[in-house]
Amino acid sequence: MTFLWILTLIITFCVMEFVAWFSHKYIMHGFLWSLHKDHHIKDHKSWFERNDLFFIFYALVSSGFVILWGEAKFWAGLPIAAGIFIYGMTYFLVHDVFIHQRFKLFRNANSKYARGIRRAHKIHHKNIHKDQGECFGMLWVPLKYFK
């Protein structure tokens, strides 16, 4: 069971990159652009952004799987919740801390991978409009950004 638990967690973490890409491209840059727009266009003085509300959605999904595990005895609920949680923490560290420097940490990270994801995100932010953006992923970006 331990192997299955760990495998489920890892698969969930990997699937979350696709979920993040899909929701970023089609939801955040789609019908919920009004919440995501302030992440691209800084028209506010607050440290918080309306975009931060997306975190709550994924926290609720993760919490729902914990409830399924505890109340419905759905064994995969806990590793799925853990995979979503770990992806969320990774996303926070990479996107908010490393790339956007909301906390002044990891400033000197300069590996090929770090430069590639930074470059891809910079290209994503060049377009300040809802449509015609590129590079919606976070941890897995096209190889052209690593050159």
DSSP per residue over the chain, as a string?
-HHHHHHHHHHHHHHHHHHHHHIIIIIIIIITHHHHHHHHS----SSS-GGGHHHHHHHHHHHHHHHHHHHS--TTHHHHHHHHHHHHHHHIIIIIIIIS-SSS-STT---HHHHHHHHHHHHHHH--SSSS-----SSS--GGGG-
**Cα dihedral across residues 57, 58, 61, 63: positive or negative:** negative
Question: Average pLDDT of the chain?
Answer: 90
The residue ranking higher by pLDDT, 92 or 128, is 92
pLDDT band at 121 (very low <50, low <70, confident <90, very high): confident
pLDDT band at 145 (very low <50, low <70, confident <90, very high): confident
pLDDT band at 87 (very low <50, low <70, confident <90, very high): very high
State the number of CA atoms in the 13 A half-sphere of 75 facing the CB: 8
For the chain, domain boundaries:
2-32+49-146
Residue 38: per-residue pLDDT: 83
pLDDT, tens digit, 9 for 90 and up, residues 35-77: 888 888 877 777 788 888 999 999 999 999 999 999 999 999 9
Residue 84: per-residue pLDDT: 98
Q: Is the pLDDT of residue 93 over 80?
A: yes
Retrieve residue 85's tokens. 């949680």
